Homo-oligomer: A and B are copies of this chain.
Amino acid sequence: MVFTIEELIGNAQTDASSGELAPVWSQFHEAVEKAGRILLSTHENPDGDGIGSQLAICEHFKRMGKEVRILNGSQIPPVYEFLDPNGWIEIYDRDRDVDWLKGCDLAVVFDLGDFRRLLKVGEDLLEHNIELAGIDHHPQMGYAAVNGTPYNFSLIDFSAPSTGTLVWQYLRSFRQEKITLSMADALYTALVTDTGSFKYDNTDARAHLMAVDLMRIGVHPYLIHMRVYEQRTHPQVKLLGTLIKHIEYSADGRVAWCVLTEERFKLAQADLEDLEGFSEFIRTIKGVQIAAVISEVSPNKTRVSMRSKGSLPINDVAEKMGGGGHPFAAGISTERPWADVLAELIPLLEAKAAQFNEAEGI
CA distance A202 to B17 in the complex (A): 27
CA distance A6 to B17 in the complex (A): 11
Q: Which 6 pairs of residues, A with B, have the shortest CB-CB distance?
A: A241-B244, A3-B172, A5-B19, A208-B208, A3-B173, A199-B225
Looking at the assembled complex, report how far the CB atom of A328 sits from the nearest CB atom of chain B, in whole angstroms: 9
CA distance A173 to B5 in the complex (A): 10
Contact pick for A9, options B12, B17, B174, B198, CB 8 Å: B12
B200 with A197: CB separation less than 8 A: no
Please report the total number of A residues contacting B with Cβ < 8 Å: 69
Q: Which of A19, A174, A247 has the most CB of B within 10 A?
A: A19
Q: Could you pull out 27 A-B pairs where Cβ atoms are within 8 angstroms?
A: A3-B20, A5-B12, A5-B13, A5-B16, A5-B18, A5-B19, A5-B206, A8-B19, A8-B172, A9-B9, A9-B12, A9-B209, A12-B209, A16-B212, A196-B222, A198-B221, A201-B221, A204-B215, A208-B211, A208-B212, A223-B362, A226-B362, A230-B309, A234-B285, A237-B244, A241-B241, A241-B245
* A residues in contact (CB < 8 Å) with B: 1-9, 11-13, 15-21, 82, 169, 172-174, 192, 196-201, 203-206, 208-209, 211-213, 215-216, 220-223, 225-227, 229-234, 237-238, 240-241, 244-245, 247, 283-286, 309-310, 362
**Which residue on chain B has the smallest CB distance to residue A328?**
B222
Contact pick for A284, options B1, B5, B230, B238, CB 8 Å: B230
B2 with A173: CB separation less than 8 A: yes
Also in contact, A244 and B240, with CB within 8 A (given A19-B4, A197-B199, A208-B209) = yes
B286 with A232: CB separation less than 8 A: yes
CA distance A56 to B172 in the complex (A): 37
Q: Which residues of B contact A241 (CB under 8 A)?
A: 241, 244-245
For the A-B complex with A1-B173, A8-B209, A199-B221 known, give 4 more contacts whose Cβ atoms are closer than 8 Å. A9-B9, A15-B216, A192-B199, A198-B211
B310 with A222: CB separation less than 8 A: yes
B15 with A229: CB separation less than 8 A: no
